[in-house]
Amino acid sequence: MIKTRIAASAASAMLAAALAGCAGGAASTQEQADAASSAQTSTVETQSARASNTGTSKADAAAGEADATVATSASTTASAASANASASILAIADLFTDRDLEQTAEASGATAITLADNTDVNITEEGVYVVSGTATNATIRVEADSAAKVQIVLDGATITNESAPAIYVVSADKVFVTTAADSTLSTTGTFTDSDGEGVDAVVYAKDDIVLNGTANLAISSTGKGVNAKDDLKITGGTYTIDAADHALDANDSVCIADGELQLTANGDGIHCTNDEDGTLGYVYIGGGTITVNAADKGIEASSVVQMDDGSLSIAAAEGIEGTYVQINGGTLEIDATDDAINATPTSASYTATIEFNGGQSTITIAQGDTDALDSNGNLFINGGTIDITAQHPFDYDGEGALGGGEVYVNGERVTELANATTKPL
């Protein structure tokens, strides 16, 4: 059933308060330096200088968009979240709008659509479209004006295609896929790229797409699960994605505010790379419960991976890879056969860095030529609790500093970062 639009969930409201607390954009890490020891001060000031070169995330709201930036909410939880966000590399105030965070659609004036076999659904105008029924070889195709906002409400919809995406966004300003009742989307054969656009996912979007809702969405793909050529946002709902390639893929950003995600991939669990703009190609996690089982990387981003809250569990060959990996809060578990977190200088807009400011992290990696925290630049631990089981816990080529938090290696607390760069090959 479709409900009248309601306010965002409590968890999203907490995130909203954190976003409002960071309305000024990416904060200088100089604030950390003022609270640290003199030795740590110089380290964090160095971080601040590097962070000053970072770009902000792509602003989502356009002129005239009704979904305004989230409002401030005063609460103890919000204050704690804002404290974490003060060290933010990304300008998280720009990431989500009110409408992104809402989990239901406005039913008044919505268009009802019943799926049918071998019949595509063509959406060319802005509006809310409620889709139900079961069909094979049917695609919901959105080809609307570049200023149009389209909301597809999956109200118990099942689509099974042989070679085409179940949802294909050709053009729009933004498309919301809102799950109101349990739905299933799948492709069983080889994708046919009839438009010459590289279509390779069950949900394929050439413009911004938001996944939200109150029900379950199952996606099964012989290629990628969801592929967005711009921004991909997830703010609510429950998702089970099983993909022969990447489970979630985007060019500009993958931003998760809330929701439950079970990602199984023969490629990466979450993949976001951009070879044209060094400030894009980032992954942000501000909440939710995410479980990744991937044959390659749990998360790969060309620029930043930032985690502020939520629960993230990764079992993969490599846990997280990005140019700048920042953990500010939440619960992180990584079980990897190669490096757990790898900072590699893919983006020229950032200095390769692994940084911990908070949260609870548990890292387990296989024995051999592997590293728990492997930075081709800097390694900074300013806060949080980190429990590492590894033969080589730390490997960094630049600066390394343990200025706060609690770090345990193989069951023993450590007070310095013993560098393994000289380990034998």
- Would you state the pLDDT for residue 94? 87
Q: Are 92 and 18 in contact (CB under 8 A)?
A: yes
Judged against a pLDDT cut of 70, whether residue 48 lies above it is answered with no
Displacement of CA 409 from its chain's centroid (Å): 28
C-alpha 13/C-alpha 355 separation (Å) is: 26
**3-class secondary-structure state, position 241:** strand
**3-class secondary-structure state, position 352:** coil
DSSP at 97: B
pTM over 0.85: no
350-360: b (≥16 Cβ within 10 Å) or e? bbbbbbbbbbb
pLDDT in tens, 177-229: 999 999 999 999 999 876 777 899 999 999 999 999 999 999 999 999 999 99
DSSP at 190: P
C-alpha 385/C-alpha 76 separation (Å) is: 21
C-alpha 341/C-alpha 363 separation (Å) is: 9
CB neighbours of residue 83 within 10 Å: 16
Residue scoring higher pLDDT (196 or 301) = 301
CB neighbours of residue 400 within 10 Å: 21
Q: Are 388 and 370 in contact (CB under 8 A)?
A: no
Report the DSSP pairing between strands 282-285 and 304-307: parallel
- Identify the burial level of 106 via C-beta atoms within 10 angstroms of its C-beta, where 0-12 means exposed, 13-18 middle and 19 or more buried: middle
Count of residues in the chain: 425
Phi-psi region of 118 (alpha: psi -120 to 50; beta: other; left: phi over 0): left
Extents of the domains making up the chain: 13-100, 104-234
C-alpha 311/C-alpha 52 separation (Å) is: 29
Tokens matching residue 392: 């080589």
Nearest Cα residue to 134 out of 114, 112, 164, 161: 114
pLDDT in tens, 326-362: 999 999 999 999 999 999 999 999 999 999 999 999 9
- Identify the burial level of 52 via C-beta atoms within 10 angstroms of its C-beta, where 0-12 means exposed, 13-18 middle and 19 or more buried: exposed
- Would you state the pLDDT for residue 382? 96
* Torsion, Cα of 66, 71, 77, 81 (10° steps): 80
pLDDT in tens, 380-421: 999 999 999 999 999 999 999 999 999 999 999 999 999 976
Q: Are 228 and 208 in contact (CB under 8 A)?
A: yes
CB neighbours of residue 257 within 10 Å: 33
- Would you state the pLDDT for residue 87? 77
Judged against a pLDDT cut of 60, whether residue 83 lies above it is answered with no
C-alpha 304/C-alpha 347 separation (Å) is: 9
Q: Can you tell me the mean pLDDT for 243-266?
A: 98
Judged against a pLDDT cut of 60, whether residue 20 lies above it is answered with no
DSSP string over 7-76: PPPHHHHHHHHHHHHTTT-SPPTHHHHHHS-HHHHHHHHHHHHHHTTPPPPPP-PPTT-SSPBPPP---H
Q: CB-based contacts of 10: which residues, under 8 Å, 6+ apart?
A: none
E strand or H helix at 341: strand 341-343
Give the mean pLDDT of the chain.
84
C-alpha 12/C-alpha 191 separation (Å) is: 35
Tokens matching residue 106: 């406005």
- End-to-end distance of the chain based on CA atoms, in angstroms? 60
pLDDT in tens, 21-32: 333 333 333 333
C-alpha 310/C-alpha 11 separation (Å) is: 10
**Residue whose tokens read 């998760």:** 256
- Would you state the pLDDT for residue 368? 85
Band (15; pLDDT cuts 50, 70, 90): low
331, β-bridge pairs: 311, 360
Three-state SS for 180-199 is EECEEEEECCCCCCCCCCCC
